[in-house]
Amino acid sequence: MKYISQSIKGINKNENQDNFFIEENLNYYFFVVFDGVGSAANGKLATQLVCDYLKHQINKHVDVSSINLRELMFGCHLYLLSLELPEAFTTYCSLFVPTDENERIVYSSMGDSRIYVITNQYIEQISQDDKISGDRNVITKCLGLDSVSIRDFKQQSIPRMDGHILLCTDGFYHLLEDNKAEFFESINKKSLTTIESDLDKLTRNKNIDDSTYILIR
């Protein structure tokens, strides 16, 4: 398995409020993309705090090649609440990939960060947005929000397949959705170095919002 990642500050932003976390070892790969809520007082800090939390907690939720991803991400949420910081809000999308190819891939998300499956035939969003219909700027759920409970955390799985899995924030996928043909062509090139270069050209200085992705092959 190989992957590439990038995070670019939005052209209208003072700081990049996105973040990502990657953990890999002999038994699994674990990827998370975070998008600190831009209107929140501590959105950026929230992403830093949950990345640090994951470093110390992930192995408590993994059993060789399986994970309780729902409880791990709920733990991130409880951790933010325990700090009692005002508006420490962040969305996320996460992916757990066992190195055992007989095992299924597990994923979870909340807010408006997204997961896509991309093959040489299609691009398909497999995560579900938590946002008000018709308004792409208003989310209904995120880590750190008092009204969120364990019932709001989902864990789903998909079988192994040929192609790519993309985790990204809205600053990236808004560009992708507006220019699917060019992104599709770039992502299906053979060389990850070429893909990384192409995606940089397609996003840099075009992303109004912070743009972050992890692309896994």
User: Which structural domains are found in the chain, ordered by start?
Assistant: 3-216 (3.60.40.10)
Is residue 149's pLDDT more than 90? yes
Specify burial of residue 161 (Cβ count, 10 A radius: 0-12, 13-18, 19+).
exposed
> At CA 80, angle to CA 79 and CA 82, rounded to 5?
65
What percentage of the chain carries pLDDT values higher than 90? 94
Instruction: Confirm if 154 and 70 have CB atoms less than 8 A apart.
Output: yes
DSSP symbols for the chain: --EEEEEE--TT-SS--EEEEEEE-SSEEEEEEEEE-TTSTTHHHHHHHHHHHHHHHGGGSEETTEE-HHHHHHHHHHHHHHTT-TT--EEEEEEEEESSTTSPEEEEEETT-EEEEE-SS-EEE-S---B-TT-TT-BS--BT-TT--GGG---EEE---SSEEEEE-HHHHHHHHHTHHHHHHHHTSS-HHHHHHHHHHHHTTT-SS-EEEEEE-
The per-residue pLDDT for range 37-95, each reduced to its tens digit, is 988 999 999 999 999 999 999 999 999 889 999 999 999 999 999 999 999 999 999 99
The per-residue pLDDT for range 11-37, each reduced to its tens digit, is 989 999 999 999 999 999 999 999 999
Confidence of residue 136 (pLDDT cuts 50, 70, 90): low
Is residue 137's pLDDT more than 80? no
Mean pLDDT for 172-194 is 97
pLDDT at residue 78, rounded to an integer:
98
Mean pLDDT of the chain: 96
Cα distances (angstroms) measured from residue 131 to each of 43, 125, 136, 138, 165: 17, 15, 7, 6, 22
pLDDT at residue 135, rounded to an integer:
60
pLDDT at residue 138, rounded to an integer:
85
Cα(28)–Cα(119) distance, integer angstroms: 22
pLDDT at residue 139, rounded to an integer:
93
Q: Closest Cα partner for 54 from 83, 27, 36, 33?
A: 33
pTM: 0.96
Instruction: Confirm if 93 and 127 have CB atoms less than 8 A apart.
Output: yes
